[in-house]
Amino acid sequence: MLFGDDHVRRYEETDGEVGYTWMKGAPILILTTTGRRSGRPRKSPLIFGEYEGHHVVVASKGGAPDHPDWYKNLVADPEVRVQVKADRFPARARTATGEERAALWARMVEVWPDYEDYQRKTEREIPVVVLERLD
């Protein structure tokens, strides 16, 4: 099973032939953010869904009490890069709110049912992020 930097490396080397499908069949994309302190590119393999032509990811961190670093990075700088299989493109990230968040949350729980368990484990509302393609 691939995790972290090894997952990113294998995914990029094979244009997603290795690493696109993860545990329980979940699809994976590679999100590149800019480190909020370092200014360096930071890559994360993330489960994603699609909704109205956009890619959607969830900042769950397994239900930890704090947001994942990749989410903190995109809040500081919403201009990101995305790779889905061989397709690489720039995107703008935004956090969904209100009814949109509720609809996207329901969609993402279909993709990865464990998100419901993660939400029960934490006091924070887990952010749902829309990646809007720029090219």
Indicate the domain borders of the chain. Answer: 4-133
pTM of the model: 0.96
Each of the 135 residues of the chain gets a pLDDT tens digit; together they read: 778 899 999 999 999 999 999 988 999 999 999 999 999 999 999 999 999 999 999 999 999 999 999 999 999 999 999 999 999 999 999 999 999 999 999 999 999 999 999 999 999 999 999 999 998
As a dihedral over the C-alpha atoms of residue 130, residue 121, residue 112, residue 47, rounded to 10 degrees, the angle is: 50
CATH of span 4-133: 2.30.110.10
Cα-based angle 82, 79, 121 (whole degrees, multiple of 5): 75
